[in-house]
Structure 1
Amino acid sequence: MDGSWPLQQALYGVLNAALECAVYDDVPPKKPMPYVVIGDDTQLPDDTKTSLGFDMTITLHVWSDAKDGRREAKQLLGEIYDELHDANLTVTGFDAVSCSFEFSETVPDRDDKITHGIARYRVVLDKAA
């Protein structure tokens, strides 16, 4: 069992409860912005002599079409940071050792009419005994 799906479920639960905008892994057509998309992840083995584990990264995307979209995207990235950096995540089947912020950025998209915010977090999981 790998940790990618249980981690995505945990992140969705935290973000969906905390943010006022929608959180998706696949955005339905014509949904209003702003919203957050749980994006790509990486997963590397992080086993010890006594446990199986994973060192994972997950990328989150924030989308805003507001007139002041960069401000809105940065505020959402800040709210995500407040919820995830150093968070004690509950991940089914795993003990979450750590969740830490790696980077964020905002970039214009589609002729400067949409702002795309990107953040990556690193999560270390150990398989629960």
Structure 2
Amino acid sequence: MVYKAPEQALFDALFKESMALQYPTYDHLPLGTEQATYPFVNIGEVQFVPMVTVDSIQGSLSLTVHIWGDGKQRKRVSDMMNTLFLYAVNLENVGDYRVQFHYQASTTRLLDDTSVPNSILKHGILELEFRLLGGH
């Protein structure tokens, strides 16, 4: 039997929750042909740093969530960030793995982004850190 990788299990959990909240959610920045509307969520980068144990997989997991809104959607982006943050705080299992949220290593940021010509976007960034306590 092939088990899902820990970082994929975490990615899938956040992606599924974002979709359940009816947030337009992508695993990439939407292309111009995708007709994305603001605000939207991009479940971004993941990282797994394993720790050697005798009988289970342990280590640390990190995941970055990007939330993009137009210049007038600051509160909406902030609310979406907070909702996904609180979901992450309460995660205990992702797939076949037990996890624990690591408060001190997690951050939220809300930035003005001017990378698109003639636009000011709101860019929320969640850096979520977890301890992988065990699993397959």
Structure 1 length-normalised TM: 0.82
1:6 maps to 2:19: no
1:108-119 counterparts in 2 under 5 A?
108-110=112-114, 113-119=120-126
- Equivalent position to 1:22, from 12, 21, 24: 24
Shift of 1:104: 0.4
Identity within the alignment, %: 21
How far, CA to CA, are the matches of 1:99 and 1:86 in structure 2?
Answer: 7
List per-residue Cα deviations over 1:18-47 (Å, max 9, x = no partner): x23211112253210111111112210123
Equivalent residue runs for 1:21-100 within 5 Å:
21-26=23-28, 27-28=30-31, 29-65=34-70, 67=72, 69-91=73-95, 94-100=96-102
CA–CA separation in structure 1 for the residues paired with 2:8 and 2:99: 17
Structure 2: runs of 5 or more not aligned: none
Q: Does the 8 Å contact 1:44/1:54 carry over to 2?
A: yes
Structure 1: runs of 5 or more not aligned: none
How many matched pairs? 124
Answer whether contact 1:34 1:64 (CA < 8 A) is retained. yes
Q: Kindly indicate whether the alpha-carbon contact (under 8 Å) linking 2:48 and 2:60 is maintained by their aligned counterparts in 1.
A: yes
**What code does the residue aligned with 1:5 have?**
Q
2:19 and 2:111 map into 1 onto residues whose CA distance is 24
- TM-score under structure 2 length normalisation: 0.78
Cα distance in 2 between the residues matched to 1:120 and 1:70: 18
What is the root-mean-square deviation in Å for CA atoms of aligned residues? Answer: 2.0
SS of the residue 1:33 aligns to = coil
Offset from partner CA, 1:33-74 (integer Å, 9 cap, x none): 11111111221012333322231100000000152x221211
Q: Secondary structure at the match of 2:8?
A: helix
- SS of structure 2 residue aligned to 1:84: helix
**C-alpha contact (below 8 Å) 1:3/1:54 kept by paired residues:** no
